[in-house]
Amino acid sequence: MMPTMSQVYLDGKFLPPEQARVSVFDRGFIFGDGVYEVIPVFGGRLFRLPHHLARLEASLAAIRLRNPHTVQEWKTIFTRLMAEHGTSDQSIYLQITRGVAPRDHAFPPNAIPTVFAYALPLKYPPAEQLMQGVTAVTSADIRWQRCDIKAIALLANALLRQQAIEQGAVEAILVRDGVITEGAASNIFIVSGDRLVTPPKGPYILPGITRDLVVEIARANKIACEEKPVGIEALRTADEVWLTSSTKEILPITRIDGRPVGAGKPGPMHARMFALYKEYKQAFIQGKVE
């Protein structure tokens, strides 16, 4: 079923989704040659917009595409898409592909990028997932070596997520060379005692905007937080494990590979960080922080 929305943005036009059409020769369709972003909107305000646009710029530069819009143009597009959902929490999805060209791996010289965006009401994780935590499995990180690019080619992520779901889990925690990288669609934090640890940025993880916010909140509140490699042993013996993403926010993982994490229920550090996160979000909605 199509998500409920009356309009999407495609290449300069606002259209009903069923009228939005992309060529079968679009390189997004043929090669997965494009990048995307997901930007949450809280209380009618685009959350961490400069961070999302900076990551978009980095993704575009990495695949050697020019940003088709200025910041002001993006804001105009987003504002119009957001309007149909009022002030309810929502997310903006946007993707840019290298455009339409005869099928050839080499970049086409004159293709015009395809730009697509829409807004969708946010579906928060069910309350019981926050209260009880979720289940994860570990899987070999079978993705490529540029996971820092928010590429639309998500076949490996989709396979890993599906395998996790078929094992009754919500997320796959990915392991490369004995260390964890991230979730199939999230970043990972572990808690040992009163310290947070999250894998460092680099080519094997997406620099999550929520991850960076959690690190920022930790530092501002004098909570010890290190960005360093997390071995599989450290994951197995952690007191708490969390996943972070723009749409799932900060979710406790309380079972990994069938074994309980710490006490097997969401821990005190999660409660503290989630309260601080919600405080920050509230201040943002009220216009007290940018």
Q: Judge whether 150 counts as a catalytic residue.
A: yes
In the complex, the smallest distance separating the C-beta of residue 100 from ligand PMP, rounded to whole angstroms, is 26
Q: How far is CA 114 from the centre of its chain?
A: 21
Collapsed DSSP state (helix, strand, coil) of residue 192 = strand
Question: Which span sits near ligand PMP by CB under 6 A: 231-239, 243-251, 273-281, 282-290?
Answer: 243-251
Under the binding rule (CB under 6 A), the answer on residue 141 touching ligand PMP is: no
Q: How many CB atoms lie within 10 A of CB 72?
A: 8
Q: Which one of 210, 238, 256, 266 is in contact with ligand PMP (CB under 6 A)?
A: 210
Instruction: Give the residue with the Cβ less far from ligand PMP, 90 or 210.
Output: 210
Under the binding rule (CB under 6 A), the answer on residue 254 touching ligand PMP is: no
Instruction: Give the residue with the Cβ less far from ligand PMP, 160 or 238.
Output: 160
Which positions ≥6 away from 110 have C-beta within 8 Å?
Answer: none
Instruction: Give the residue with the Cβ less far from ligand PMP, 97 or 245.
Output: 245
In the complex, the smallest distance separating the C-beta of residue 36 from ligand PMP, rounded to whole angstroms, is 9
Q: How far apart are CA 190 and CA 195, in angstroms?
A: 8
Which residue has tokens 């009903």? 16
CB 149 within 8 A of CB 34: no
Instruction: Pick out residues in 211-230 that bind ligand PMP (CB under 6 A).
Output: 211
Q: How far apart are CA 220 and CA 166, in angstroms?
A: 39
Instruction: Give the residue with the Cβ less far from ligand PMP, 220 or 263.
Output: 220
Q: Mask of contacts with ligand PMP, 166-205, x by CB under 6 A?
A: ----------------x--xxx------------------
Kindly name the residue from 13, 75, 123, 150 that is annotated as catalytic: 150
Residue 235 carries which DSSP code?
A: H
**CA nearest to 272, candidates 231, 222, 211, 200:** 222
Under the binding rule (CB under 6 A), the answer on residue 90 touching ligand PMP is: no
**CA nearest to 114, candidates 10, 229, 235:** 10
Under the binding rule (CB under 6 A), the answer on residue 139 touching ligand PMP is: no
Q: Mask of contacts with ligand PMP, 22-61, x by CB under 6 A?
A: ----------------x-----------------------
Q: Which one of 97, 139, 245, 254 is in contact with ligand PMP (CB under 6 A)?
A: 245
Which two three-digit tokens encode residue 46? 């685009």
Instruction: Give the residue with the Cβ less far from ligand PMP, 188 or 238.
Output: 188
In the complex, the smallest distance separating the C-beta of residue 142 from ligand PMP, rounded to whole angstroms, is 13
The secondary structure element, H or E, covering residue 165 is helix 155-166
Exposed, middle or buried, 4 (CB in 10 Å: 0-12/13-18/19+)? Answer: exposed
In the complex, the smallest distance separating the C-beta of residue 143 from ligand PMP, rounded to whole angstroms, is 8
Q: How far apart are CA 234 and CA 278, in angstroms?
A: 28
Collapsed DSSP state (helix, strand, coil) of residue 244 = strand
Residues noted as catalytic: 150
Given the rule CB under 6 A, which residues bind ligand PMP?
38, 157, 182, 185-187, 206, 208-211, 244-246
